[in-house]
Amino acid sequence: MDMAKMTDEQREFIMQFFQANMKREKADKVERFRHLNKFVKPGQILFCGSSLMEQFPIYEFLLNFDLPYTIYNRGVGGYTTTEMYETLDACVYDLKPRHVFINIGTNDLNTPDYSKETLIANYRRILDGIISHLPGVKLHLLAYYPINEKITEGTPMNEVFKQRTNARIDEANEAVAELAAEIGAEYHDLNAGITDADGRLKAEYTIEGMHMYGDGYKPVLDALLPILRELD
């Protein structure tokens, strides 16, 4: 399907179709979570956020490396901070976790009207909600992963990367770190093992310059393990 050969009306129809389909997929995932949450053990570790958290293959890592943790993953691909806030019951509250690891906000970076202030205000609402519903919870905010725009030069993906640049990601990470310090959360930058000499996501780990293959998450896990070992 060559988008360049389509009329504006055809492109608009295609975009609306994909957006509607993605909205349904997100709602379906959350509804599945509501049913699955009936069986969780409270007081465990929770991963939540958008696709970069959803695609973290933590279940296989726990099995493959015989790791002694119970970790639930409630990431939803495509989620923004607003969408996560609206479904905190299914994605966080119902699980009653002791520790919550969050990676949310990269999809907010994609829009032309993005502002750091709005991102952090929305992120703060999420954290305030979790704290108020789960007294004593420990919050862990993950740094956003870098991208590699060189992987997809000349493809439609570069339209996304015109907005989600590594400069914007770095700026957002600084703001998230400040937010973590302000509210007494932990901030973890787990990116050293996945970043190349130019500060980009390593080419061998990435699917399309943004998301990672499973082996790309192994260096992230290696950086995360010392943190997990220190959890109470």
CATH number at residue 83: 3.40.50.1110
Q: Residue 23: inside a domain, yes or no? A: no
By the 8 A CB rule, do 148 and 209 touch?
yes
Q: What pLDDT is attached to residue 22?
A: 83
**Is 6 contained in some domain?**
no
Q: Which domain holds residue 124?
A: 43-227
Is residue 61, in this structure, part of any structural domain at all? yes
Residue 59 belongs to a domain: yes
Q: Is residue 26 part of a domain?
A: no
The CA-CA-CA angle for residues 130, 132, 136, to 5°, reads 80
Task: Give the model's pLDDT for residue 6.
Answer: 60
Q: Please report, in tens digits, the pLDDT of each residue of the chain (232 residues total).
A: 454 566 666 556 555 645 667 889 999 999 999 999 999 999 999 999 999 999 999 999 999 999 999 999 999 999 999 999 999 999 999 999 999 999 999 999 998 889 999 999 999 999 999 999 999 999 999 999 999 999 877 777 777 888 999 999 999 999 999 999 999 999 999 999 999 999 999 999 999 999 999 999 999 999 999 999 999 8
Residue 167 lies in a domain: yes
pLDDT at 4: 53
Domain count for the chain = 1
- Per-residue pLDDT of 154-210, as tens digits, reads 777 777 888 999 999 999 999 999 999 999 999 999 999 999 999 999 999 999 999
Q: Is residue 18 part of a domain?
A: no
**C-alpha angle 174/177/182, rounded to 5°?**
125
In a domain, 144, yes or no: yes
